[in-house]
A and B are shown apart, each in its own frame.
Chain A
Amino acid sequence: MDQPLPAACHVALVAAGSAAGALLRAALTQLVPGPWPVLWVLDVGGALLLGLLTGWSCGRRRGRWLVPLLGPGVLGGLTTFSAVTVLAAGSPGPGPLAAVLGMTVAGVLAAWAGLLLAGTGSRSRAGGPDGPGEAP
């Protein structure tokens, strides 16, 4: 019943969302001083939002184009891995390495929290207008 989106359509949605995400990231970088604080906000916040989106979209039929646009698109473009690795590789001492490991743990916890928060919401909606959802 749920056919996957055509490949070109999927790539176009991810690309368009990523452009918007990159612009948002550039805007936030202008607002928050210092490279590490903004990376923490973007990456850990983006992981939380992706967890929420994934939990929310689980078992939904409608808006299947919205998930690639917002997930790998906007949130994929908003969050970044390369700025973290280049910043850490270009800084001396064990501090940057500890920050990368800390950010990895924080990202996992944030994404997990997002999934759980959205999962609780969809269970309470079961039987509602969206019909009995497939429990995640």
Chain B
Amino acid sequence: MSGWEWLAVAVGGLAGGALRGWLGLLLPSTGDGFPRAVLVCNVVGSFVLGLAAALLLPGSGTLALVGTGFCGALTTWSTFSLDLVALLRTRARRTAAVYALTSLGAGLAAAWAGLQLGAALAG
């Protein structure tokens, strides 16, 4: 990776993290502890990364900025896991199951849609 690509990852990561931090304040968890903000981040990030992976060249600076940096930092696995533990510890098993299945189902569907749309646009 060149110096510009490292800079692109850092700038993209700064933007993705800022958006996730801001959405976390804007959309606090609902009364039953459902983490809305992280769900939105993970699903939107999956779609954008699918699109970017299909449209942009591997190893390009733009993919480092949008993919590795922005989408990588906007989406998160650690908070996803810890929020599931918090729900399970408060015996909110149904909310935990709904959260896990919605995140994975919508995330995979969004990633697939992004890849398909990107492939169609790339022609």
Q: Is the CB of A100 within 8 A of B104?
A: yes
- Total number of A residues with any Cβ neighbor in B under 8 Å: 57
B9 contacts across to A, CB distance below 8 A = 22-23, 26
**Is B62's CB within 8 Å of the partner chain A?**
no
Q: Is the CB of A115 within 8 A of B72?
A: no
Size range of the chain B interface in the assembly: 35 or more
Contact A21 to B13, CB < 8 A, known contacts A11-B25, A51-B82, A89-B115: yes
**Which of A51, A75, A77 has its CB near the most chain B CB atoms (within 10 A)?**
A77
Q: Is the CB of A68 within 8 A of B21?
A: yes
**Is B98's CB within 8 Å of the partner chain A?**
no
Q: Is the CB of A7 within 8 A of B46?
A: no
**Is A122's CB within 8 Å of the partner chain B?**
no
**Is A57's CB within 8 Å of the partner chain B?**
no
Q: Is the CB of A19 within 8 A of B14?
A: yes
Q: Is the CB of A77 within 8 A of B73?
A: yes
| B interface residue numbers (CB < 8 A to A) | 1, 6, 9-18, 20-22, 24-25, 41-42, 45-46, 48-50, 53, 64, 68-69, 71-82, 84-85, 88, 100, 103-104, 107-112, 114-115
